[in-house]
Amino acid sequence: MVFRVFGTFLLLFLPVHLAAAQVRQITGRVTNAATGQGLAEATIAVNGTRIVGQTGTDGNFVLNAPDGDLNLVVRGIGYKRQEVALPESQRTVNVALEPDVFKLEEIVITGQATGVARQNLPNAVATVDAGELTRAPAQTLESALQGKIPGALIQANSGAPGGGYQLSLRGVSTINGSTDPLYVVDGIVISNAAIPNGANAVTQAQAGGNPRNQDNAVNRIADLNPEDIEQIEVLKGGSAAAIYGSKATNGVVIITTKKGRQGKPQFNISQRFGFSSRANELGSRNFATLAEALSVFTDTATVTALYQPGRSFNFEEEIYGKKGLSYETNASVSGGSENTQYYISGLVKKDAGIATNTGYDKQALRSNLTQELGAGVQVQVNLSGTHSVSDRGVSNNDNSGTSPFLVFPFTPNFVDLAAANANAENLQPGDFPRNPFERSNPLQTFQFLKNDEDVWRLMGTSTLRWSVLQSARHSLQFMGVGGVDYFQQDNNFVSPPELQFEPNDGQPGTVVLSKSSNRNLNLSFNGTHTFTGGGEGPQFTTSAGFQYEERRLFATQVIGRNLLTGQQSPQQAASQSVLSNIQPVRDLGFFAQEEVLLAGQKLLLTAGVRADRSSSNGDPGKYFFYPKLAASYRFVRPFGGVDELKLRGAYGQTGNRAQFGALFSPDTTATIGGNSGTFIGNRAGDPNIKPERQEEFEGGIDATFANGRAELTLTGYQRNIKDLLLEQTLAPSSGQENRIFSSASTLRNRGVEASLTLSPVRSASVNWVFRTTFFANRSKITRLTVPTFQTGGFALSLGTYQLEQDSSATQIFGSEGKVGDATPDFQMSFSNDIDFNRFTLGFLVDWKKGGDIINLTQFLYDAGQNSVDFVEPGGGAARIARFGEGFTQPYVQDGSYLKLREVNLSYNLSDRTTAAIFGSAIRTARISLTGRNLLRVTPYDGLDPEVSNFGNQAIVRNIDVAPFPPSRSFYFSIDLGF
């Protein structure tokens, strides 16, 4: 069969079917079958031709169609497709479309340029549309996705403004390879690099026994504007993502931005106001008597002078208690003529941070244009520019006493750290008292330290689609995509010499000026041929193409120490050092895929293969092959109560790259007394490095029942990852500390995903959709070809991850042995969307059960005998005593949480009210109250169970060291359409 299809692929001299010369005008109306309201922007296509019409805002349409018996195909986004036969004599037609609550007809992208309807989909591909994405305002895309994708663990690394999230799909897919999913926006692969901000020059965090960066970097997917996104599809692993080849093991997130549609210009403006407030505090020990204070802080003179019974200060409130005004303005206009469609949007956003001098500002512009050039050629040009500035203060681990939550544990709450004239206009560093108990006064630090991250990002994609052939039976399309994603990140980190801690290193004042840029250049081309057997007949879709990608990350950092007052440039600093890092990568891949719909569109069979080579492999000339196979079958009304039942199974392979440089065993260069030298680097590379290979099997059942009121999907999967890249800790006597190499080790993940969607009420006045998801995953290292080793953390006694055969990949070890596991037992989410007349209420609850966290912040408070519960039974004193006896367990804690992620209550004003308030030019008006992360229930003792001192990591997350505290946010919004 496949040969026959390839045969037709080659037979291209079939005549293009042209519309008949005779024309008649057809009029009609498309309505929502549930409410009877007219449906705007529905399309009416004449089958077998290129003739397409569109409804206006009232649902009416006019179409010029040829004579003869016609088949009209009527589609509306979010509605089930309907085919209507139109006899030669008929000139008017009314169509009522059923809402497609379960998105069965949504086309899901399954190849580089092809897709199948969800009802036939052989994989559990999660999709999130614009409505779900923007239920409540989100700073960055990932927070808008939390709780919406079964199979994904999406967690913030801290509460700092401006992002820093990790999205991991279906458990641990690597130990030392890349951890990021592949982000594809409008056909081009974009960067999600996380570039450190340079804080390490002050915090010296990497000097403390763990060389990983702890700057709390932002991964750059934060630059996307969630409001511009029409749809996100998440391919979770090998079986769905094989066509993306050697970079797809961590999943592929396919993002499609909004496009214009034919019609008059439609303006939408939404204005939001709100604020954020801190969501949690740790508190500290209250000293009831001077004697008690002196038992901990033995500097008698200082303590006696400062201590006053009953006096205490809340440092956390003083730094993190800000509730500045946040606002966001989104405006867009879209529309177009028959040949030209446009979508243009702008965003201005300012999020005030909860801490002094922190916050996140973003401005974005996007123009998406589509132009028909005639002869079946269409070009689409998407351009976007984003600028963001974030100021994130200092947080996470340090070795210089600068992070607030590393200072508070050793500072009693009876000392006043605030400036005497705290409300003065022009505060000076000298206005703040010295913290006599620690090296810094965090209030002073946050007032004067600058940690600005300024990012400009430009993305441009040009897509050329050439419909060579379009007939009732055959269509042949070619698509070429060229695109560039470029960003420049400037970090300006200035720690003035007057800060209390600054003279400690003998070089008062530190400035770190970083400039980093990243260029992703993409070029891809593919051809797709579709043969349709007519009606319910078979359909063959064949596609093939290639994809070339070039990336170049170039990061530089200039560090200046020993500054004069007011000096902000490293140029004149008494001591200077420079860091630079270049990461060039080139990849080329070829792919081919065949999708066949048979048996009255009930049976789908898919096969595909991808071949990839890359400059980051040991043998850059070698192609690695990644095959896939999938099938699904739909049973229509198999038994009572069940509308449709689909069985599906899929198998596929993907790869995962080593981090840049794994190929090399770099030397280190440094200078002594003006002479430079090179010596052995810590890490040995592997000249034969190759991508990891994931094999994934996935099977599942999708069922809709109760007359389209309920949908259940169940998915089970197993993924085996072989050729694991390992960073083996070497016996240090070898002279190097670790070595990265392609090993023969294997890792397995097994898991289940389920989702149940109910639409119990669907009437003209009430519409209620309830959705719940479930996800559980277990990983196991099935073969480890190196001896058991430990990675991450700071020391065995402070909790570390131990990799050993036949054990979970995320087990946490302490002095006494195994003390926990970072993998959650399961995750669930619950969402409700209720429309009641003009009101809409939506909320989302995200629940994670289990998953342990190493709480070193509490360890520090306990070590300072300053934790809030220090003297309580079983409190800090008991924990630290147990720790002293050689137990890590007290600080490895359950990270379960239940969070109310999103709440949205909105009211759609009636046309009359709208006109009365805003004038008749305004088409629609809505006011909303929204909130994010409003409620939280957790047994965890720390600030937030979403925490990662080391940022995005394959395994060594869930380490809590002085993070930026979490916040909740509230917004009031007005949305106008005209």
Binding to other proteins, residues 729-788 (CB under 8 A): 729-737, 739, 741, 786-788
Centroid of chain to Cα 871: 42
For the record, the structure tokens of 425 come out as 């206009």
Whole-number Å distance between alpha carbons of 507 and 502: 7
| Residue 38 DSSP symbol | B
On whether the CB atoms of residues 392 and 451 are closer than 8 A, the answer is yes
Give, as ranges, the residues between 33 and 72 that touch other proteins (CB under 8 A): none
Give, as ranges, the residues between 422 and 451 that touch other proteins (CB under 8 A): 436, 438-439
Options 56, 115, 666, 977; binder of other proteins; rule CB under 8 A: 666
Options 886, 913, 917, 972; binder of other proteins; rule CB under 8 A: 886
DSSP track, 98-116: PB-TT-TT-EEE-SSS-EE
* The total number of residues written for the chain in this structure: 978
CA nearest to 880, candidates 865, 900, 895, 894: 865
**Helix or strand or coil: residue 494?**
strand
Q: Which is nearer to other proteins, 324 or 503 (CB)?
A: 503
Q: How far is the CB of 571 from other proteins (least distance, A)?
A: 12
Give, as ranges, the residues between 495 and 534 that touch other proteins (CB under 8 A): 500-501, 503-507, 523, 525, 527
Q: Which is nearer to other proteins, 467 or 488 (CB)?
A: 467
Options 418, 458, 877, 922; binder of other proteins; rule CB under 8 A: 877
Q: Which is nearer to other proteins, 326 or 742 (CB)?
A: 742
Q: Say if strands 107-109 and 92-97 run parallel, antiparallel, or are unpaired.
A: unpaired
Q: How far is CA 430 from CA 393, 406, 411, in A?
A: 20, 22, 19
**Helix or strand or coil: residue 316?**
helix
| Residue 420 DSSP symbol | T
For the record, the structure tokens of 365 come out as 């512009």
Options 112, 158, 593, 800; binder of other proteins; rule CB under 8 A: 800
Is 817 a residue that touches other proteins (CB under 8 A)? no
Q: How far is the CB of 36 from other proteins (least distance, A)?
A: 47
DSSP track, 325-363: EEEEEEEEEEEE-SSEEEEEEEEEEEEE-SSTT-EEEEE
**Helix or strand or coil: residue 242?**
helix
Phi-psi region of 198 (alpha: psi -120 to 50; beta: other; left: phi over 0): left
Q: Which is nearer to other proteins, 220 or 474 (CB)?
A: 474
Whole-number Å distance between alpha carbons of 328 and 940: 33
Whole-number Å distance between alpha carbons of 331 and 389: 20
Q: Print the binding letters for residues 553-592 with other proteins: x by CB under 8 A, - otherwise.
A: --------xx-----------xxxxx-xxxxxxx-x----
**Helix or strand or coil: residue 504?**
helix
Q: How far is the CB of 396 from other proteins (least distance, A)?
A: 11
Which part of the chain contacts other proteins (CB under 8 A), choosing from 205-213, 596-604, 628-636, 643-651?
205-213
Q: How far is CA 117 from CA 109, 120, 599, in A?
A: 9, 6, 15
Give, as ranges, the residues between 667 and 686 that touch other proteins (CB under 8 A): 667-682, 684
Whole-number Å distance between alpha carbons of 99 and 29: 16
Q: Which is nearer to other proteins, 791 or 827 (CB)?
A: 791
Q: Which is nearer to other proteins, 400 or 653 (CB)?
A: 400
Is 271 a residue that touches other proteins (CB under 8 A)? no
The CA-to-CA distance between both ends of the chain, in Å, stands at 52
Q: Print the binding letters for residues 594-633 with other proteins: x by CB under 8 A, - otherwise.
A: -------------------xxxx---xx------------
Q: For residue 678, count other CB atoms closer than 10 A to its CB.
A: 10
Options 494, 726, 860, 959; binder of other proteins; rule CB under 8 A: 860
Which part of the chain contacts other proteins (CB under 8 A), choosing from 223-231, 272-280, 601-609, 873-881?
873-881
Q: How far is the CB of 485 from other proteins (least distance, A)?
A: 17
Q: How far is the CB of 729 from other proteins (least distance, A)?
A: 5
Give, as ranges, the residues between 945 and 974 that touch other proteins (CB under 8 A): none
Options 7, 36, 68, 209; binder of other proteins; rule CB under 8 A: 209
Backbone angles phi, psi at 407, to 5 degrees: -95, -45
b or e along 800-830 (b: 16 or more beta carbons within 10 Å of the residue's beta carbon)?
Answer: bbbbbeebbbbbbbbbeeebbbbbbebbbbb
Options 77, 96, 296, 603; binder of other proteins; rule CB under 8 A: 296
Is 475 a residue that touches other proteins (CB under 8 A)? no
Q: How far is the CB of 681 from other proteins (least distance, A)?
A: 7
Q: Which is nearer to other proteins, 426 or 675 (CB)?
A: 675
For the record, the structure tokens of 249 come out as 């093991």
Which part of the chain contacts other proteins (CB under 8 A), choosing from 241-249, 765-773, 875-883, 899-907?
875-883
Strands, E assignment, 838-908: 839-849, 852-855, 892-894, 897-908
